[in-house]
Amino acid sequence: MELGYRLGWLDVIVSVDTMVVHLAGALGYEPWVMLHADCDWRWPSRGGTSLWYPRAKLFHQHRAGVWEDVIDEISSALLRRIPRQLQTTALPL
């Protein structure tokens, strides 16, 4: 259960459909799931929510094999969560 505890440290969990997504969703955390255009039966083929995990946000490929749109959508959604004053602050590398 250590993984479940550590997931709680994160604001959001971004992943493809893996055990981590299911654990995060089952524990009430906020998984953002990157889904293939032809995802399996557990995920709706359209829409951004899951019946199984109310806090999950789903990001579907628009075309099979093309992940750029999914990554762009996730990037935009993450930027909306960051306060505006932090978006322009350069972080040290």
Q: Give the residue-averaged pLDDT of 27-53.
A: 88
Are 18 and 32 within 8 A, CB to CB? no
Structure confidence at residue 54 as a pLDDT band (50, 70, 90): very high
Are 57 and 49 within 8 A, CB to CB? yes
3-state secondary structure of 68: helix
> Global pTM?
0.83
Q: Phi first, then psi: what are they for 4, rounded to 5°?
A: -60, -40
Q: Which pLDDT does position 5 carry in this prediction? A: 92
Q: Which pLDDT does position 81 carry in this prediction? A: 87
Interacting residues of 35 by C-beta distance below 8 A, sequence separation 6+ = 16, 17, 43, 58, 59, 60, 61, 70
Question: Any idea which residue has 């590398």 for tokens?
Answer: 93
